[in-house]
Chain A
């Protein structure tokens, strides 16, 4: 499989704090890659650099063979990279449908407003939100709001979808539904890179997992390899003990 995304020696300092240091990994085209690690490990910071929200202190991001490091945040959906936010950012005074229309209209498909409304309706159908299309985000529960984040990103027609803890706060049944949705999205050809704490979901979704700790990548491998890694066990068990 070819590499869709290659992260090379990525580093980010915040006023002396090394949030991410010298992280390198690749995301294969068509795969689902996971990123795990304790709180404050620097996962979201890596996402922010991949999506142009933050400029790396050093290192580079290669996407489809091109160096895209430092590209402005609003250019990414045009290149086929879409993301969700760990802290949900619904467009509060817009209906669920309009939330997704926004994604559809400015994404890769170059739709006009009318086409975008139709496409958004399709996306809502696909993500199981269609019957909620006229509601406002605040009128839905957390699982649906998380879905809406995914739907809006998906509406931009991404090649690479970055999901930041979209399963956090879901109960086991909802998690299973979410896993199913991401599998469906992946089957349609979208490559996924996701940050997740729920190991069960990571294990059933990801071909490859990158583990981060204190800003560094400590290991990567299949979910099984990673979960049997003594260092990873130490970190995770250590975390549970305190």
Chain B
């Protein structure tokens, strides 16, 4: 096991440092916005991955859970003056529990049937909020900018959002890595591979799917609270199933089956789709989406296991590991 400090850790630190100083170089709100979007989509993808990658249950209802979180955060702030930071906590617990309880009867459904149920729930929430006076009906609600600062999580500048999103992404990633290597992670992965085997080694699939749903929906609800404050305006459209694809696509392209894959997918896809819409959409409306779709289809056709799925089994990875080990040996002397 490689636990010691080495070149990999150094590279990671450098990467984080670069991320930390990006706002001092990138000044335009547009560019900074792309970073923020990438980070929070990355968070959403990681949250989705707890169910999608680790447990193998494909949800297309996560936009609904994110929307619920967004509404909880915004309504608490607007109507009760409760800070979004507490809102994040409330959203995590409430949405996590709600999703787990609603989906629990559907855990016996496999594959596409489970997916259909998640779509149905998200759609139900969207309709509920479209008709709910307290939540501003179809017009949605504004999160006003009357007070700036940490308490309200509202700023005119995008820089604070940049750092919050970055930290959130790092925290989410660390949480997922921890889960991946824990007892919970082994339970989820075993269930994903074969539920009968899971039972046979002593895993209660129901219990662990409940926990996974709780964490997955709860985490994306936290992203929702961030989103509401960052954008400053939410309406029921954010619960649309098409919005859920923002979190599913990166996971599939990056590689379901690992934690790094979905993160990598988000880091590649989000800027790519921004770039395409900036460069192509004025040539012909929707052209950017066509190109995006073609790229996604190409990856799925040629690398069905995603980028990381390919990488994990490639010679390239082995070469890179050998190179890193060699550098480690040179820098720190021979160890273990």
Contact = CB atoms under 8 A, between A and B. Distances in A.
A53 B196 contact: yes
Interface in B170-225: 181-183, 185-187, 189-190, 192-194, 196-205
A102 B196 contact: no
A93 B189 CA distance: 9
A74 B203 contact: yes
Nearest to B193: A91
A73 B199 contact: yes
Nearest to B181: A113
A227 to B, nearest CB: 32
A103 B201 contact: yes
Nearest to A106: B202
B189 A89 contact: no
B201 A102 contact: yes
A112 B183 contact: yes
A106 B182 CA distance: 12
Interface in A53-67: 53
B223 to A, nearest CB: 27
A83 B202 contact: no
B257 interface: yes
A92 B189 CA distance: 10
A117 to B, nearest CB: 8
Contacts of B187: 105-106
B202 A101 contact: no
Interface string A94-113: 10001001110111000011
A72 B192 CA distance: 19
A74 B204 contact: yes
A92 B193 contact: yes
Given A93-B257, A113-B181, A74 B196 contact: no
A157 B189 CA distance: 21
Contact of B193 (A78, A82, A85, A94): A94
Given A74-B205, A94-B193, A105 B200 contact: no
Interface residues of A, number: 33
Interface in B16-52: none
A106 B196 contact: no
B252 to A, nearest CB: 15
Interface string B231-258: 0000000000000000000000000010
A113 B193 contact: no
Given A112-B183, A113-B181, A113-B182, A77 B193 contact: no
Interface in A102-137: 102-103, 105-107, 112-113, 116
Contacts of B194: 89, 91
Contact of B200 (A73, A78, A90, A94): A73
Contacts of B196: 53, 73, 85, 89
A156 B201 contact: yes
Interface string A135-153: 0000000000000000011
Nearest to A100: B201
A102 B199 contact: no
B257 A77 contact: no
Contacts of A156: 201-202
Contact of B199 (A53, A93, A113): A53
Most buried by B among A103, A105, A116: A105
A182 interface: no
Given A101-B186, A105-B186, A113-B182, A77 B197 contact: no
A94 B187 CA distance: 12
A75 interface: yes
Interface of B: 181-183, 185-187, 189-190, 192-194, 196-205, 257
Question: Which 5 pairs show the lowest CB-CB distances between chains A and B?
Answer: A77-B202, A106-B202, A91-B193, A73-B199, A74-B204
17 contacts: A73-B200, A74-B199, A74-B202, A75-B202, A76-B202, A77-B202, A85-B196, A89-B197, A90-B193, A91-B190, A93-B193, A102-B189, A102-B197, A102-B198, A102-B203, A105-B186, A113-B181
